[in-house]
Amino acid sequence: MSFLESLAARASASNSLLCVGLDSDSQKLPSHLPAKNRVLAFNKAIIDTTADLVCAYKINSAFYESEGSAGIEQLKQTCDYIKSNYPDLPIILDYKRGDIGNTNDGYVRFAFDYLGADAVTVNPYLGAEALKPFLDRADKGIIILCLTSNPGAGEFQNLEVNGKKLYEVVAEKVKSDWNNNHNCLLVVGATRPEELAKLRQLMGENFVFLVPGIGAQGGDIKATVKAGINKSGQGIIINSSREIIFASSDRDFDGASRIRALKTRDEINEAREN
């Protein structure tokens, strides 16, 4: 089963378009957690309490790489834990890699063959030739940065190129040339619903967007859903990280995360129905 097939199946089974980001910054973890493998312990608790509410988990590799070998090992153990206990839940590695082809070969092996991720985020700047090792993995989701939610995104993404915005050029290139294996998605930030609606029109009903930026970054759930959803009530993966996983630093942090995840999932579904 391809990533997009497993994602659609999971979204239907869980009645959820919510993706929880395991951006488990070791500096923000509850103090009562044990010193050894505390990121893994935190992740397990968050996963166990939210698994029935989500369509995927997104793991940002930076928070694990910053901890050196211990962080990488806990990243691997987190992926293994999801695969062993919730095998129908896709794992997105927020990786944002994009380099020359032989370098990307190494990134591909780490993400897919070592960690077992089902999808990765990539940077389009070096073009399709460089990304070929990713794009050739037809069973995996390749999520291309298009229009991100950070305040400075427009510095390049909104530049005019032959009468179009650069982000539109990227989207059109993905649609026309890069998606031969039907495994491409786009990252479009929740803080830009008007552009998201434009991209939905451009990319068509069957295309899927990863939409970060609700919660701590200020994206509006209702506006995001209305702009990005397709006629089948799917087509978007709405990610929330800090607002859910750091809902509390007390001993009941996992319970607080569940409450926040449930509220977010229900707000998304309410917007889908209205």
Interval 39-59: pLDDT, tens: 999 999 999 999 999 999 999
How confident is the model at residue 216, as a pLDDT? 65
8 A C-beta contact, residue 245 and residue 216: no
8 A C-beta contact, residue 171 and residue 186: yes
**List 76, 83, 96, 222, catalytic entry:** 96
Q: Which CATH superfamily is domain 3-273 in?
A: Aldolase class I (3.20.20.70)
Domain ranges of the chain: 3-273
The 3-state DSSP class for residue 24 equals: coil
The pTM assigned to this predicted structure is: 0.96
Interval 58-101: pLDDT, tens: 999 999 999 999 999 999 999 999 999 999 999 999 999 988 87
**Cβ-proximal residues to 207 (8 Å cutoff; 6+ apart), any chain:** 175, 185, 186, 200, 235
Confirm whether 198 is a catalytic residue: no
The 3-state DSSP class for residue 88 equals: coil
Strands (E), 47-140: 56-60, 91-97, 119-122
- CA contacts within 13 A on the Cβ side of 126: 17
